[in-house]
Amino acid sequence: MAKSTSEEKVHSQKEWAMVIHGGAGTILESEMTPEKFKQFHGALDSALTIGQKILASNGSALDAIEATIKFLEDSPYFNAGRGAVFTHEGKNELDASVMDGSNKEAGAVGGVTNIKHPISAAIKVMTNSPHVMMVGRGAEQFSKQQGLEQADPSWFKTDRRWESLQKILQKEKSTGAVYEEVDSKFGTVGAVALDKNGNLAAGTSTGGMTNKKFNRIGDSPIIGAGTYADNQLCGVSCTGHGEFFIRYAVAHDVAARMDYLNETVEEASDFIINTKLKEVDGSGGLIALDKNGNYAMPFNTAGMYRGYISPDERFVKMYKE
């Protein structure tokens, strides 16, 4: 363990900070064209600017992650909102969750098909209902009652994701086997922010996994699996093969290791992704911020779209660098 580096990191207190992801399992570096690079890089960079404007002007961590994730949901490049992957039946079923580290309140929606911004619906569940999670038609009805913007299901459809489903269906037909993903390009989006008042908030939004069946729901809308936040410890948003992230309670495990083992956010996150999950072939990654604004963004896939911003640092990265 690099103790001295960890201690230095713990002591660097940021006034505010935000970390984002656009999914683990990127387009392979060898297949990345300058045009695609510009699209992904540009979208992540714009997302950072959205959070920056809110956090630098004293806005809340919750507002910052909502605005940032809404922007990424509208972008066709990521597997959330517009650009979500397709189910086996050719539908877009969306999941999202949020947690407020200041009071440990949380909200989530699962399997919704016509809410334009699932992250906003998750926030409404948290703030305007006595519940933590709503799914399917009920969640859709609630979002309408709350006055949230609705969208025709066709809004979420992109050719790229439709073709991915066709490729998998073809493969299933020719081999007789069942596939959830063939290329492990997950593409979920997430954000964790620390505001000037020391509040942490985390949110995650996804279309799930291509070819999912029977209203399958992954880790993204599950508090403690895909999303977690606690002002005293950290905020976390995950991306990857959801079944593993649920079974290993990944987002909460980062906080637990920091709490019980006194690990830094980097040590805890790295161990879970690169040792615990790697040993069982659970592919994916996570982003996390501790209460001082220090970040961790480990992944065990070829890449993970990600970015970080604070008053003195800003970057967007895709591969191991």
| Residue 218 interacting with ligand ASP (CB under 6 A) | yes
- Quick one: 41 exposed, middle or buried, by C-beta within 10 A (0-12, 13-18, 19+)? middle
The sign of the dihedral angle between the CA atoms of 157, 92, 280, 236 is positive
| Residue 23 interacting with ligand ASP (CB under 6 A) | yes
Q: What single-letter amino acid sits at 176?
A: G
Judged by beta carbon, residue 167 or residue 196, the one nearer ligand ASP is 167
197's tokens: 């008042």
Judged by beta carbon, residue 83 or residue 107, the one nearer ligand ASP is 83
Q: Of 203, 208, 298, 303, which one interacts with ligand ASP (CB under 6 A)? A: 208
| Residue 93 interacting with ligand ASP (CB under 6 A) | no
| Residue 203 interacting with ligand ASP (CB under 6 A) | no
Q: Of 79, 92, 120, 264, which one interacts with ligand ASP (CB under 6 A)? A: 79
Q: CA angle 281-83-67, nearest 5°?
A: 95
Q: CA angle 132-140-68, nearest 5°?
A: 70
Tell me the closest approach of the beta carbon of residue 296 to ligand ASP, in angstroms: 17
Strand, helix or coil for residue 278: helix
Stretch that binds ligand ASP, among 104-112, 114-122, 146-154, 236-244 (CB under 6 A): 236-244
**Which H helix or E strand runs over 34?**
helix 34-56
Stretch that binds ligand ASP, among 8-16, 55-63, 239-247, 296-304 (CB under 6 A): 239-247
- 289: Cβ contacts below 8 Å, ≥ 6 apart: 17, 18, 19, 192, 193, 194, 200, 234, 235, 265, 295
Q: Of 239, 264, 283, 300, which one interacts with ligand ASP (CB under 6 A)? A: 239
Tell me the closest approach of the beta carbon of residue 176 to ligand ASP, in angstroms: 24
| Residue 142 interacting with ligand ASP (CB under 6 A) | no
Residue of 188, 204, 239, 264 marked active site:
188
Is 175 in the active site? no
| Residue 81 interacting with ligand ASP (CB under 6 A) | no
Contact 113, 92 (CB under 8 A): yes
Q: What's 54-123 look like in SS3?
A: HHHCCCCHHHHHHHHHHHHHHCCCCCCCCCCCCCCCCCCCEEEEEEECCCCEEEEEEEECCECCHHHHHH
- d(Cα 67, Cα 79) in Å, to the nearest integer? 17
Identify the bridge partners of residue 262 per DSSP, sorted by sequence position: none
Q: Of 54, 119, 209, 288, which one interacts with ligand ASP (CB under 6 A)? A: 209
Tell me the closest approach of the beta carbon of residue 196 to ligand ASP, in angstroms: 30
Q: What single-letter amino acid sits at 315?
A: F
| Window 176 to 195, contacts with ligand ASP (CB under 6 A) | 186-188
Taking the mean position of all CA atoms in its chain, how far away is CA 165? 21
Phi, psi of 229 (to 5 degrees): -155, 140
Tell me the closest approach of the beta carbon of residue 85 to ligand ASP, in angstroms: 8
| Residue 219 interacting with ligand ASP (CB under 6 A) | yes
Judged by beta carbon, residue 97 or residue 206, the one nearer ligand ASP is 206
| Residue 237 interacting with ligand ASP (CB under 6 A) | no
Tell me which residues touch ligand ASP (CB under 6 A): 23, 79, 186-188, 206, 208-209, 218-220, 239-240, 242
Q: Which residues are catalytic?
A: 188
